[in-house]
Structure 1
Amino acid sequence: MEKKLAVVVGAGKGMGVNIAKVFGMHDFKVAMLARNLDKLEPLTDELKTQGIEAYTYAADAASTESLTAAFQKIRQEHGSVDVLIYNAAILTAGFPTKLQSSDLMEHYQVDVASALHSANLVLPEQIAKGSGAILFTGGGFALYPMAEYTCVSVDKAALRALTFALSQEVKEKGVYVGIVTIMGSIAPGTHYDPADIAEKYWELYEKQEDIEYVFK
């Protein structure tokens, strides 16, 4: 039986590779997308040593053209995407009065607009099959905005709203949409260990009951 495919956009040594590992350990094949393959390929090799079928693709979340090309290649090589996890974000600080509108739009493209673009790249096939899932990485700033991280606060709030709106639209078509809202700073060996948080993505996918899991 052909393995299901999970795609992680914005893969790295933190949440991305841990999410891929969780789905891989549940017999998914995983494709990880990032701008820098030199940093990503050692993580992929690590997954392979654990018996996980893993692949890497170069893609820049700031460019819809780059994402489209990467997903086209994935579709050609592995078929349709069963689960999309969008984990890309720009997490730099900035107070409102220190930001230009162009700064806000640059962040928004990566944090929100490209999340929607990625979802729309996989949704037609998921809807046609009547099954599939889309998961987003949210953040506590969506609920408790901080002036020092204005762009992150605005974008995580927008991503959360997008999640709920998209879920309303596609739930009856057989596609599950959810978000893991992380209320603290991700770091191994802490309460916000990425390995522990990654389990919640699988939990949301497996149960497909709640739209949001707040990790606090």
Structure 2
Amino acid sequence: MSKKLIVVVGAGPGVGNNVAKKFGANNFRAVLISRNQDALDQYVKELSSEGIETYALAADVASSASLTAAFEQIKNNYGSPDVLVYNAAVLKSGQPTSLTAESLVSHYQVDVAGALHCALQVIPDQVAQKAGTILFTGGGFALRPSANYAALSIGKAALRTLAFTLAEELKPQGVFVGTVTIAGIVAPGTHFAPELIAEKYWELYEKREEHEIVYS
């Protein structure tokens, strides 16, 4: 049986790559997307050393055109993604009054609009196949917003709403949408170790029941 394909947008040494490893260990090929090609080359080397068929594309999640081009390449070179994981966010502190309308929109572009744009790249094929999964990396600020992380709190709340509304729309068409709401600071060797969190993405994919897992 041919391997399925997972695309991780916002690849990195934490949650993103560990999700790719978890799916890769379960007969998936992986495509990693982030801005830094040098880092991506290291990630591909690392995952490939574990026997995971891994590819990478550099793209800027703040640019819809960059994401569109990346997904066109993915489809042409590797096929239609069976699973999309959106793991990108602007992790920057700042109180509400430190924001401007323009800076909030720039955060929102990465935290939420980029997620929607990536989803829109895979939804048509997933709907046509009546199969597919879209998973978002949420955050505890969606449930308990912080004044010190105002833009991120707003973004994670909006991303959570995007996940639930997409789930409602796409469920009748065979596409599952879910979010892992990480209510803590990701850190190796703790309860919030990325490999432990990655298990929850697999759980959502496998069970396809609840649309949110709050990891706390």
Instruction: State the TM-score, normalizing by the size of structure 2.
Output: 0.99
Equivalent residue for 1:169? 169
- Work out the CA distance in 2 between the residues paired with 1:72 and 1:2: 21
In the alignment, which residue of structure 2 is the partner of 1:62?
A: 62
Residue of structure 2 in register with 1:81 after alignment: 81
Shift of 1:182: 0.2
Deviation at 1:171, TM superposition (A): 0.2
State whether structure 2 residue 197 is matched by structure 1 residue 206: no
Counterpart Cα distance in 2 of 1:43 and 1:6? 15
Letter in 2 for 1:2: S
Equivalent in the alignment of 1:98: 98
Taking the aligned partners of 2:82 and 2:43, their CA distance within structure 1 comes to: 22
CA distance in 1, matches of 2:50, 2:111: 31
- Deviation of 1:208 after TM superposition, in Å, equals 0.4
Unaligned stretches of 5+ residues in structure 2: none
Task: Give the residue type in structure 2 aligned to 1:24.
Answer: G
1:165 is displaced (CA, Å) by 0.3
* Letter aligned with residue 141 of structure 2: F
Give the CA deviation at 1:37: 1.3
Secondary structure in structure 1 of the residue aligned to 2:179: strand
How far apart in 2 are the matches of 1:41 and 1:207?
33
Render the CA deviation track for 1:64-112: whole Å, top value 9, x for unaligned.
0000000000000011110000000001001011111111000000000
Question: Does 1:16 find its partner at 2:16?
Answer: yes
Deviations 1:23-81 (A, max 9, x none): 00000000000000101211211111111000010110000000000000000001111
Instruction: Report matched runs for 1:175-186 at 5 Å.
Output: 175-186=175-186
Q: Is the 8 A contact 2:40 2:58 kept in 1?
A: no
Partner amino acid, structure 2, of 1:36: N
Q: Secondary structure at the match of 1:155?
A: helix
Match of 2:147 in 1: 147
Report whether the alignment pairs 1:120 with 2:153. no
Aligned length: 216
The residue that corresponds to 2:41 in the other structure is: 41
Where 1:190 maps in the other structure, the secondary structure is coil
Letter of the structure 1 residue corresponding to residue 24 of structure 2: G
Matched AA of 1:156: K
Q: Aligned residues: percent identity?
A: 57
Indicate the SS of the match to 1:61.
coil
1:10, 1:28 → 2: CA distance?
18
Q: Deviations over 1:162-210 (max 9, x none)?
A: 1000000000100000000000000101110001000100010011001
Alpha-carbon RMSD: 0.5
Distance 1:119 1:46 in 2: 27
TM-score by length of 1: 0.99
Match status 1:197 vs 2:197: yes
Give distance in 2, aligned partners of 1:141 and 1:153: 5
Q: CA deviation at 1:13?
A: 0.7
